[in-house]
Amino acid sequence: MNFSRTSLFSGLILAGSLALPLIATAQDTPETQKNLKALDPKLIDASVDPCTNFYQYACGGWLKQNPIPSDESSYGRGTELEDQNRLILKAILEKAAAGGAGRTANEQKIGDYYGTCVDSNAVNQAGLKPLQPTLDRIDALKSKDGLPELAAYLDGIGIGTFFGFSSDQDYKDATQQIAEFDQSELGLPEKGYYDRTDEKSVKLREQYKDHIARTFELLGEPHAQAAKDADTVLKIETELAKGSLTNVERRDPQALYHKMTLEKFEGTAPNFAFTSYLRTLDTPQVSSLNVAVPGFFTGLNQVLATSDLDSLKTYLRWAAIRQTQGTALPQALDDESFNFYGKILEGQPEQQARWKRCVRSTDRALGEALGQVYVAERFSPQDKQRTQELTHDIEAAMGRDLDQLDWMSPETKTRAKEKLHAVANKIGYPDKWRDYSSLNVVRGDALGNVERAASFEEHRQINKIGKPVDRGEWGMTPPTVNAYYNPQMNDINFPAGILQPPYFDAKQNDAVNYGDAGGVIGHELTHGFDDEGRQFDAEGNLKEWWTPTDEKKFTERADCVVKEYDGFVAVDDLHVNGKLTLGENIADLGGLKLAFLAYLDRAQKAGTDLAKKGDAEYGGLTPEQQFFVAYGQGWCQNNRPEDLRLRVQTDPHSPEEFRVNGVVVNLPEFQKAFGCKTGAPMAPASRCAIW
């Protein structure tokens, strides 16, 4: 989700998803529901010693039984649940698309959006005609003076140009929304792809340039001109990347906050009239704003000065075609986009069936309209109540954990508890549903629907500027199989989509649900106290509330986690980036510890015999063992090597194996549960510990 381009949302990310163009994936999967369980003994590989490699022990059976489908770049427990959800959403959308006088306004929108999206014949018949007005508008640009108006038009239909623009909470006044300018999202995943000199990176840039050239040829350019234009695009993107921050640098919120007046900002980049841009975009009055990356705009100013008009128009043509959804483009362009972003970048052999991609597209465009129907079918009041109880138990466990920390001063503990008690819990779906009445969805107008949905969201965001923050808003749609913490809101969010097997299983016991769903809840709660989240106070303001001594002690403990994960080899010679993944690793480690503490308290109140082994449904495991196996099985996933390389270089989440083994090695509770001898791979003599 890209509600704010400097968004600090810390999501769980269960299927390794990345913010790449919406090209997804054409082998169809059988339309049958699996019987998913949070703990399934058949997924265990009992030939593996859990004290040697717990991930292989918990997941070995699943890994053997679930090769990656040809239309996926990875496949895990989260993907299994997404498959289930997608079938439910497909049935909802097909019913809505069938029409009839009884449809509600929202059913008309989701039905006509989906019905138009899946009609590939109509899209192919239309060819480039729907896109031509945008290309003509770019071609008609007569001078650089017209760039602000053109950029505003493109941004208004969902096409990012030279920079990112949106609204965000003021980092130091979390009650207010302000305007925000940020670095642009380029065609390659992040800055490092433009400057790394290793053989694989150099080759990938050549493949990217070939992809750009082939795309321009499909737009009608001669081969030689297309190759020249590809060089131009790569040159401009490389220059823009130079002024961008890396993914690791962007993890520091202090580096992303530079509040200034509009007049001062314009003075830093005089080659672009931002006032004209804002006026054309019809934003509310902007007096002060946040410039996330000032150095980027210095570089952009230079690019605008040194690039001729034709080069800039070439870059904008590429931006327009690259960011247009593949389902709204003729087949040849759609296939070309998938060839690079799917096959080359992620190693995915085949494009997904169109209906799957259209379900995703509809959820992105009209997520709360679709989610309202989904919730009515799939999320009961009982599910919400049990999740609330789990959440309260884990929050109480964090309070007790804070009390016993020997490295934190009483002063900082008091502030930490204030923040903990202020955390808002959002479970299942929003209290107030989004109003889509101003969004016009037209049956048969695929690209128009995509552009109008993008325009709706763009203006919904920018119209927040200057207004109080809506703390009831959600950043994920209800069917989403994920969760997140937002430090500026100080809230934890669990969509209905994830609160079902294999993560939350009403048919299984507390040990299982505290290990799996509890681990998810604990993960998001701990994000409020990771290396990023801890910099925000109880109200969501970027504010120093730690004593210098406590901050130093936290950093020392965090450095232990960085070094541990730096040592993990993800694929080939590529190691996990401990700094990039630090926040998620802290959340994994702290979250599972909190979930375990909460479970022990719940088990004591229930009189559970922790030494008693479970029956066949629970694999003959003790309750404590069930807890850890349920957590481990939540992360079972097979990954293609190309996808792993991409994720390690761009994703703040560690690969799944290390989200299991990298956590349990640091928990003496795991060692005790499985009777591991000190010195075993999963029971080292020294551990990392923060929370």
pLDDT tens column, 473-516 = 999 999 999 999 999 999 999 999 999 999 999 999 999 999 99
pLDDT for res 9? 61
- The mean pLDDT value for 106-123 works out to 98
Distance CA 550, CA 535 (A): 13
The length of the chain is: 691
pLDDT per residue as tens digits for the range 46-75: 999 999 999 999 999 999 999 999 999 999
For all residues of the chain together, what is the average pLDDT? 94
Question: Coil, strand or helix: which one is 89?
Answer: helix
**Residue 573's pLDDT band (cuts 50, 70, 90):** confident
Which of 209, 190, 196, 183 lies closest to 299, judged by CA?
183
Query: Which tokens sit at 557?
Result: 């403990």
- What is the distance, to the nearest Å, from the Cα of residue 342 to the centroid of all Cα atoms in its chain? 18
653-689 pLDDT, tens digit each: 999 999 999 999 999 999 999 999 999 999 999 999 9
- The two tokens of residue 354 are 């169109």
pLDDT tens, 516-560?
A: 999 999 999 999 999 999 999 999 999 999 999 999 999 999 999
Structure tokens at 163: 């920079």
The identity of residue 66, as a single letter, is N
Q: What is the mean pLDDT of residues 208-230?
A: 98
Confidence of residue 31 (pLDDT cuts 50, 70, 90): low
For 105-109, 141-145, 383-387, which range has the lowest pLDDT when averaged over its residues? Answer: 383-387
Over range 451-463, report the average pLDDT: 97
Confidence (pLDDT) at 402? 96
Q: Are 19 and 160 in contact (CB under 8 A)?
A: no
Contacting residues for 465 by C-beta, under 8 A, at least 6 apart: 167, 177, 178, 179, 283, 284, 286
pLDDT of 561: 98
- Rounded Cα distance between 637 and 56, Å, is 11
Do 682 and 671 form a contact (C-beta atoms < 8 A)?
yes
Question: 414: how many CB neighbours lie within 10 A of its CB?
Answer: 11
Task: Using the CB atoms, write b or e for 415-426: b if 16+ within 10 Å.
Answer: bbeebbeebebb
* CA pseudo-torsion sign 267, 271, 276, 281: negative
Outline where 516-581 has alpha helix (H): 517-527, 548-566
**Helices and strands per DSSP (H, E), number in the chain:** 27, 12
Q: What is the pLDDT of residue 32?
A: 67
What pLDDT does 383 receive? Answer: 87
Per CATH, the number for 132-323 is 1.10.1380.10
Residue with tokens 């986009």, as numbered in its chain:
337
Q: Encoding tokens for residue 609?
A: 């015999």
**Strand ranges inside 239-363, DSSP E:** 259-261, 288-291
| For residue 27, pLDDT beyond 90 | no
In this predicted structure, what is the pLDDT of residue 17? 37
- Write the single-letter amino acid at 277: Y
| pLDDT reading at 25 higher than 50 | no
State phi, psi for 237 to the nearest 5 degrees.
-60, -40
Beta strands in 142-189 (DSSP E): 164-170, 173-182
Judge if the upstream peptide bond of residue 502 is cis by omega within 30 degrees of 0. yes
- Give the tens place of pLDDT for each residue, 251-294: 999 999 999 999 999 999 999 999 999 999 999 999 899 999 99
**Residue 33, amino acid:** Q
Q: Render pLDDT for 190-207 as a digit per residue (tens, 0 to 9).
A: 999 999 999 999 999 999
Integer Cα distance of 421 and 416 in angstroms: 9
pLDDT of 290: 98
| 487 three-class SS | coil
> 356-378: string of b/e by CB count within 10 Å (b at 16+)?
bbbbbbbbbbbbbbbbbbbbeeb
pLDDT in tens, 409-432: 999 999 999 999 999 999 999 999
The rounded Cα 356 to chain-centroid distance in angstroms is: 19
Burial state string for 175-196 with b = 16 or more CB within 10 A and e = fewer than 16: eebbbbbbbbbbbbbbbbbbee
Report whether 192 contacts 21 (CB < 8 A): no
Q: Is the pLDDT of residue 28 over 80?
A: no
pLDDT band per the 50, 70, 90 thresholds, residue 8: low
CA dihedral 324, 330, 336, 342 (to 10 degrees): 60
φ/ψ bin of 99: left (φ > 0), alpha (ψ from -120 to 50), beta (otherwise): left
Give the pLDDT band (50/70/90) at residue 21: very low
Amino acid (1-letter code) at residue 145: D
As a whole number of angstroms, the distance between CA 666 and CA 560 comes to 11
Least confident of 11-15, 33-37, 251-255, 649-653: 11-15
Give yes or no for residue 33 having a pLDDT over 80.
no
- Asked whether the beta carbons of 229 and 221 are under 8 A apart, the reply is yes
- ∠ CA 487-251-247 to the nearest 5 degrees? 140
Residue 221 has pLDDT above 80, yes or no: yes
